[in-house]
A and B are shown apart, each in its own frame.
Chain A
Amino acid sequence: MLLLLTLFLPLVFALLTYLSGNRFAKYIALLGGLVVFTCCSFLKLALVHNNLAPLVFVHDWISNPHISFALNIDGLSLTLVALTAFLVPLIIFTTFRKEIENAKAFYSLVMLMEFGLLGVFMASDGFLFYIFWELALIPIYFIALLWGENKDAAFRHRAIFKFFVYTLAGSLFMLLAFIYVYQIAGSFSASTLYSLNLTDKEQSVLFWAFFLAFAIKIPVFPFHTWQPDTYKESPSAGTMLLAGIMLKMGLYALLRWLLPVVPHGVMLWTPVVMVLAVIGVIYGSVIAIKQDDLKKLLAYSSFAHVGLITAGIFTLTHEGFQGAVVQMFAHGFNVVGLFFAAEIIFQRTGTLSISQLGGIRTVAPKFATCFMIVVLASVALPTTNAFIGEFLLLYGLYEYNTWLSVIAGLTIILGAVYMLRMYQNVMLGETNSLTANFEDLNWKELTVFVFLIIGIFEIGLVPSQFMNMVQPSLDLILNYSLR
């Protein structure tokens, strides 16, 4: 029941938000986000109470074809649900300072998006998963399209449309793959799909059908070209939703719907994926160095980070898996912090061009400190969340192949290069006409950063509790993946 409640509350609040009118929409949405977060805390208690055995809800929905409304919460799902439930209210709160046109529609779309995201992370029926997967795309499409701030509307429309079509096209392959396995299994349920005996040839083809859909969403090199422009053109709240939560759909799906379903296909194609993922790590990092647009720089940096997570997942090791989950969680926090900083800069100066900024630290010391901490977390300084993630990911990768680990490890150097370069040009040096009157953080903005920073250090300093919660679900997936 708790599962259903958690899942459907965002939908209810989407409706309430819309009905409440433009003036109150943001408060209702924030309330909704907080209520969902509370539910999520209860989910955690329930899971712990259940000795980490999955919480399930199954309702036979459609008899032919056999589709059930099946939800499942285990450590892995809960992690992503928690990330969503934590970040959504925070992202809503980041927009509080801004006058948003047609606010009721905007906030209700955000809540609708949360509904879709939670569904993706909770569904244990393939078809249900597919429905939520597509459902999550629709609100973000409109958010990005209608509330983007760039003046060049034609360019924005092109970029967002491309993103939409690109990811939708990828998903089609997934749908085909699901239909194919349904024909054999007679069910879409995860447990059935995990115990299928598909021929190696089938698995080899199915692998790509699933992988393409996920790879475009993550994105994995070379399917990433929608990302920089979409991140740049979306309003910051949209970018945060996209980078903070939505791209984890793809990573989560790798673990839940690819590895255990077509293990032999995975075995066969892992070398290719590994090379693509590691290319992405280096490629994204190198490109980020010379980016002048702050949001694009962060987009390429994010792309490099998820490349490493993808590689970690494909190592099929305990360390790689754990590293991937920790890093998904950590990346959510860090990337939201970074894009929030970008948003603050854009609101106050009207530009995101790194070369035009500078000296902000002199006038806004609180902002400078918060931004610095988030930057340090994203370059994986020990005691921050991303260090735990990157350490385990690179170690997992080392267990798979030493040289790939060394090459991917270059990210700790390149990451420092582009992040410190960015921070230096934006924040340090002398102020100029754009930044001289930069206003320091107000309490609302500070609150957002404080929450993020607490999260950063909590995962960095005491990650074990979190890891132990995820461990049983990852063990299970690893066992199926190595069958």
Chain B
Amino acid sequence: MNYLLVIILLPLFGFLINAFIGKKLPKTISGIIGSGTILVSFVLSSVFFLGFLNGTQQKIDVDVYDWIAFGDFKITFGLLLDQLSVMWLMVITGVGFLIHVYSMGYMHEDEKFHNFFSYLNLFIFFMLLLVLGNNFLVTFIGWEGVGLCSYLLIGFWFKNQDYNNAAKKAFVMNRIGDLGFLIGMFLLLYNFHSLHFGTIQTALGTIQVSHATIVAITMLLFVGAMGKSAQLPLYTWLPDAMAGPTPVSALIHAATMVTAGIYMIARAHFLYLLAPETMQFIAVIGAATALFAATIGVFQNDIKKVLAYSTVSQLGLMFMALGIGAFTSGVFHVVTHAFFKACLFLGSGSVIHALHGEQDIRKMGGLRKWMPITFITFLLSSLAISGIFPFAGFFSKDEILAAAYEHNKVLWAVASFASFLTAFYMFRLVFLTFTGDFRGTEEQKHHLHESPSVITFPLIVLALLAVVGGFMGLPEVFHAKHFLKEFLNPVFAQATQAGGEMGAHETNSSIEIMLMSIASILAVVAIAIAYVMYVSRKRIPAKDGEQYGIGKIIYNKYYVDEIYNALVVKPILVLSELAHDVLDRTFVDGIVNWSGKFSLMAGAQVRKIQNGSIGFYLLFMVVSIVAIFAFVFLKN
């Protein structure tokens, strides 16, 4: 447990150093402190990981102290480390470390360098808390904490109000989800008198809770996941979040934070298994998001926006996996996705860096010549995300597709089509960016260069992982050991027993080979189409304002932002003004002022009675005394 605390507290320590004295430190020291703390956390995490691997490490579930406690009410601050959290631990600290290193190069010119590292470390701290909490509320600390860091980092260049708007939008949309999470926790607390994962899991057998309640709980928690993991309809913040520096997009908005929703549902899988309705709902939302975002990705021209929609789409795929009970496959895809998507974002950052901030792929082209390492790593990751054998994405995506096929053919078809689009827009991106002729200015061309090794090193490592990462989950037809499934088995044992876990091994092997072939052919065809369009025919996407028809609608992201603005934002703003000007100032306050005036008027009338005439006073006194006597007399 002590080492576990060290893993969590080191990033916090790094945050404090950079926050308080970072300004006085040289940038290199600042960066080394930021990255070093994460590296140590990663090494310690690896020790735990290896321990779990060879069976020497037991599950840790400890309460550190009583956090909110009075009378019978008690919520502890506690930590939990098992196979599921250690997987995330490895990704957070491992990929996190690489991105820290990358940032040392990428942010080198920035005057708020130390701020950046302090926020990154704070993010890692909260993210670790999120996956290591042993109850929902500790996870919720991390959950909202990473939201805060996301807010701070999206709006890192705070002089630009557009970026600040994006940051605020991310925070508020996440808060919408968080309300769901919060109410979900209330239901849990009310019914189970605990928020501790283990206690709730055990209590499910003994405490009678209605099915409707379980469905409500799982749905509410999923609302939280929708916000954090950018699912329909709460996804619009993620593309906007690309306003943040590119390492942030890689770390927070691709590899780690946005997978928190998947973690949380995998963590609470014992509840979800009891609520097939919710599972069905998650699968549908996931598939719909996967397809919807993929279509938008096809029409985007901003290199980061394409990747952002791709992330939304891939997250949808993961949720679909959870929804059909393939928890391991969902987690598998989280891990492989972290590798290749982080690599892609960092690669795009390398490109943007070389082009001095240019993000429009229509103004790129031919960069392969100048940036060979960036090109190759980007290409490998694109192959991985497109699901080309034997890259990482092939295995994880294949598992999900196979499970979907088993579960529901429509889901499989939707997911397959989304994957087809993914392969297409990824290679559209690759070809437009790296092949053909350079379409930027001469000035930019003159300065083109490969990024320094502090940037290319993380790219190479991540690309390697994107190539081999899939081998941790070889399919059954290959007659190999599915490492990840065995590793996570203790966590998802219940799911496997319930028959909910429909991994590849339960599928008929000939069907599975067929599915793999279909997926591979689709991907290859998509790449081929992209090749024909953008390499052979050298097509360049239309200029802004020259799109038409369906292309224009999709280019404008189906106008979802505009619709939200018109339906939610504007009415609230109008309501706010009306409530203040009309209701509050005129009506409610009007009544108050009116009663004040009324008393003044009454006072003026009463004053007339006091006219100084003794006779009148006497008369009034006598009448009053008589009245009082009469009252007392009659009462008795």
Contact = CB atoms under 8 A, between A and B. Distances in A.
Contact of A290 (B159, B573, B593): B573
B144 interface: yes
Contact of A467 (B70, B179, B593): B70
Contacts of B601: none
A441 interface: no
B70 A412 contact: no
A91 B68 CA distance: 29
Contact of A468 (B69, B179, B583): B69
A424 B596 contact: no
Contacts of A391: 68, 137, 182
A54 B67 CA distance: 26
B145 A424 contact: no
A283 B585 CA distance: 13
A392 interface: yes
A416 B175 contact: yes
A467 B69 contact: yes
B71 interface: yes
A270 to B, nearest CB: 20
B393 to A, nearest CB: 35
B175 A413 contact: yes
A413 B68 contact: no
Nearest to A224: B588
A4 B592 CA distance: 39
Interface stretch (A33-41, A187-195, A330-338, A376-384): A376-384
B579 A420 contact: no
B190 interface: yes
B140 interface: yes
A413 B179 contact: yes
Interface in A386-400: 388, 391-392, 394-395, 398-399
Contacts of B69: 464, 467-468
Interface string B45-66: 0000000000000000000011
A172 to B, nearest CB: 12
Interface string B91-110: 00000000000000000000
A184 interface: no
B562 interface: no
Contact of A420 (B145, B160, B172, B593): B172
A381 B144 contact: yes
B396 to A, nearest CB: 32
B186 A405 contact: yes
A394 B592 CA distance: 31
Given A382-B145, A398-B190, A420-B168, A388 B68 contact: yes
B113 interface: no
B70 A383 contact: no
Contacts of B575: 286
Contacts of B186: 394-395, 398, 405
A430 B69 CA distance: 45
Interface in B201-244: none
B161 A412 contact: no
A402 B596 CA distance: 39
A209 interface: no
B181 to A, nearest CB: 10
Contacts of B189: 395
A56 B198 CA distance: 46
A22 B347 CA distance: 66
Interface string A421-442: 1001000111000000000000
B506 interface: no
A121 B120 CA distance: 45
Interface in B144-165: 144-145, 148, 151, 155, 158-161, 164-165
Interface in A357-409: 359, 361-362, 376, 381-383, 388, 391-392, 394-395, 398-399, 402, 405-406, 409
Interface in A447-483: 461-464, 467-468, 470-471, 475
A291 B573 CA distance: 10
B179 A412 contact: yes
B570 to A, nearest CB: 12
B452 to A, nearest CB: 29
B127 to A, nearest CB: 14
B71 A471 contact: yes
Given A286-B579, A361-B158, A398-B186, A166 B592 contact: yes
Contacts of A467: 68-70
A226 B591 CA distance: 12
Given A376-B148, A382-B145, A421-B168, A409 B576 contact: no
B58 to A, nearest CB: 29
Contacts of B501: none
A39 B172 CA distance: 44
21 contacts: A166-B592, A222-B588, A225-B585, A225-B588, A283-B583, A286-B575, A289-B573, A290-B576, A361-B158, A381-B148, A394-B182, A398-B186, A398-B190, A406-B179, A409-B183, A412-B175, A421-B168, A424-B165, A428-B161, A428-B164, A462-B67
The 4 A-B pairs with the shortest beta carbon distances in the complex, nearest first, are A467-B70, A225-B589, A290-B576, A382-B141
